[in-house]
A and B are shown apart, each in its own frame.
Chain A
Amino acid sequence: MKRIILSLFILPQLATFAANNPPPTSPTDLAVITNWGDDTCAIIDTTQEIPLNPGIKVGAKPYDVKVESTGRFAYVSCSGESFISVIDLQANLENENRRIPVGMAPRDIALTSDNNRLISANSGDDTISIVDVNTKQRVFPDFPVGNIPYGVALSKDDKTAVITLWGSNKALILSIGPNGPKIEAELPIGQLPYTAVMAGDDKYALITCFGSHAVYVIDLTNKAVLPKPVNVGRSPWGLSVSADGTSACVANFYDGTASVLNIDKVVDPLGAATPVKETTRFKLEKDDPIGGGTKRPGRAKNSAHSFDPNKVLMSDLAKNQVMVLNIKEQKVERVIKVGMAPYGIAFIPRKQ
């Protein structure tokens, strides 16, 4: 009798819970967003307009986020601190015991392909940290790189890193070996370089230069900057590359547009033809029901590609939302309101 009564009580609760928390339509539809303005992260389902979990508290000023390939943990650089917050994505909570000390004011981060190590660009003390995420210890001493490092890109074999130096308008190519990192090249690029990504099977690095309104392309084989940067919209900040490496999407901050770039895997040895071209630029607009249908300008900060090459997420600092873009149709399909000043985005991969 007790069991029947208990079941009658519990079953409706479960049904309500299931209705309010429907399972995602696909694991690759979930993403983590860092809200720099209110020290939280949000978990969103990109097919829904309400976040699944709007406010997971983390350290101060969360900037970048990377999710390991098993989908279990998300690593968040806290630019107002000197550590990486670790979110357990099963519990949707930060595990403060797993916080990883790094240098001051970490910005962009990269995870190695085995999920064991993390590199952070520490804008507060001009170093990079290479840490073991399991032991929370530094693998090597923090490595000085130069003035205000922001962006980090890591090759698939984890042996080459590109670091952007925002304060000196340069990019560094580092080799990472058993004895630690080594600077292989220091390359002048455009003004205020923010984000770096590897592209074209790691033959290139693409770097957004906020002050030059262009994406600079580094030939990693020859360790040289290609002579013609790719002009994009005003003040490009975030950049992401499709899973197959053939296209990229750029968030142009001050004109609220997205640039789509085509990436040719063949490197012209003479550098005469640029392997990267802007093919499309479109305005990131969607009628704002709160504004009575009027279009208010957004400020696209970051970009992340889904496994579907046509689906890209961009964070909008001005409207505190994430935009789901359909690249093929050049439009914003959906907006998802998140916390204050959403900076970082990472899709949560399929659990293995």
Chain B
Amino acid sequence: MASLLSPENSKYARRNALLGGLLILTTILRSEPERIASPYFGDPIPGLSVHDTKRFDEGFLLFNKTWSAEEGLGPSFSGSSCVTCHRNPLPGGSGSRDDSFITILPDSPGPTGGSVHPRFTLSEVNLPHLGGGTQPSLRRSTALFGLGLIDKIAETEILALADPTDSDSDGISGRSVIFHKSIGKFGWKGKIPDMRSFIGIAAAVELGLENPTHSSNFSNNANARSEISAEQFEALAFYIDKLGPPPIKPPSPGANKGKEIFMRIGCASCHQPNFTIKGHQDKHTEIFPYSDFLLHDMGDKLSDHVKDPLVRPTEFRTAPLWGCSSTGPPYLHDGRAQNLREAILYHGGEALGSVDLFSSSSSDDQNFLIDFLRSL
């Protein structure tokens, strides 16, 4: 038998060692998705140039700007600035008080699902009459942190999670609405396809500002002249696009146990933990919104009674959970849940199985799960 150390074996050994080394090196150097992290709420995504940081700051000022009637606010509106509604815990966040919620009427469904009944008017407009039988629904303004990152999730990634006919019989369906040839990713009813539309609709409907992408519902302006200039709109869109995701919190032993429970009882069937996107400078980036951005039936208790041919009253887009303990309470589309435990227990429909498992868990396990949600 040839010795292992014979010249022939040495040659093969050297070649194999070289190949092995190259394989290891390639593995190390291969671009793994990096997890994007911002220092705190309201910070931009990391890595912006000096020029882009300045643009971000300009957008920040516009986001906080109080608009006047002379500048185009109204004639009907629900707030006078973006930050009026999007502020919790910092500008760019969610709404926490009733006056930062939007009232939705059940008829005449619009892009946000139902038509918005504005809180204020500057002049006489034909507002829908709230008759005795009208059941308006409230909509809590959502946090905008990481919205630009969500915008970059490929439609194929979301559709891969959909199962509209529940073909695997696990009780979870999940579907997307096709709206203007794109799937809806934004809004409580998942009918808004992209971030720019989200901004344009909000500016038009909540502030009454005609803008390059959308007109307000009650515009008196026959020519729909843009009241927010293209430059201002782009600055605002840039700011929101670059708003970083919620900060990463240090893990705790309770939260780690809670994550196992979260996965085990099926919460992740809708609250999909992560996606890989092409982020800043085209780098593969991993984000952790904890949502599949699909519509799910949430049961009759959460019905908003809105008659919409595209989305049923009991269907809602899975809310992202990242940052939830800082951007709430309250929780759910109308803010009815005052804490995370209540929010879980309100889940019905497709989530009933998971809720039953949660309810029948020990109080320790329930607390671990809450700890996990608080850690997101």
Contacts and interface: CB of A to CB of B under 8 A. Distances in A.
Interface string A213-235: 00000000000000000000010
Contacts of B89: 36
A297 B97 contact: no
Interface in A81-116: 105
Interface stretch (B56-64, B113-121, B138-146, B195-203): B56-64
B39 A298 contact: yes
A299 interface: yes
A296 B326 contact: no
Interface in A51-86: 80
Given A192-B83, A211-B64, A234-B57, A296 B91 contact: no
Most-contacted residue by chain A among B43, B57, B97 (CB, 10 A) = B97
Q: Is the interface of A mostly helix, strand, loop or mixed?
A: loop
A115 B347 CA distance: 47
B249 interface: yes
Interface string B74-114: 00000000011000010100001100000000000000000
B250 interface: yes
A309 interface: no
A317 B40 contact: yes
B64 A80 contact: no
Contact of B326 (A124, A297, A341): A341
Given A192-B83, A211-B91, A254 B64 contact: no
A134 to B, nearest CB: 30
A159 to B, nearest CB: 31
Given A192-B91, A211-B60, A234-B57, A340 B40 contact: no
B249 A297 contact: no
A244 to B, nearest CB: 33
A297 B66 contact: no
Contacts of A317: 40
Interface string A123-160: 01000000000000000000000000000000000000
B40 A299 contact: yes
Contacts of A320: 250
Contact of B39 (A211, A234, A299, A341): A299
Contact of A192 (B64, B97, B325, B326): B64
A299 B60 CA distance: 17
B329 interface: yes
A144 to B, nearest CB: 14
A80 B96 CA distance: 10
A299 B97 CA distance: 26
Contacts of B348: none
A169 interface: yes
A191 B39 contact: no
A318 interface: yes
Contacts of A37: 249, 325-326
B247 interface: yes
A318 B61 contact: no
Interface in A288-313: 296-299
Nearest to A340: B249
A254 B43 contact: yes
Contact of A169 (B39, B40, B66, B97): B66
A245 interface: no
Interface string A27-66: 0000000001110000000000000000000000000000
A297 B39 contact: yes
B208 interface: no
Nearest to B64: A211
B313 interface: no
A165 B144 CA distance: 23
A218 to B, nearest CB: 20
B42 interface: yes
A105 B65 CA distance: 24
B64 A318 contact: no
Interface in B292-324: none
A296 B247 CA distance: 13
A296 B39 CA distance: 8
A254 B65 CA distance: 18
A318 B326 contact: no
Contacts of B60: 211
Nearest to A301: B40
A152 B329 CA distance: 24
Contacts of A124: 96-97
Contacts of A297: 39
B198 to A, nearest CB: 22
A317 B97 CA distance: 23
B207 to A, nearest CB: 15
A191 B80 CA distance: 13
10 contacts: A124-B96, A191-B61, A191-B66, A211-B60, A211-B64, A234-B57, A253-B40, A299-B43, A318-B247, A341-B326
Interface of B: 39-40, 42-43, 57, 60-61, 64-66, 83-84, 89, 91, 96-97, 247, 249-250, 325-326, 329, 374
Give 6 closest A-B pairs by Cβ, nearest first.
Answer: A318-B39, A211-B64, A299-B40, A318-B40, A297-B39, A191-B64
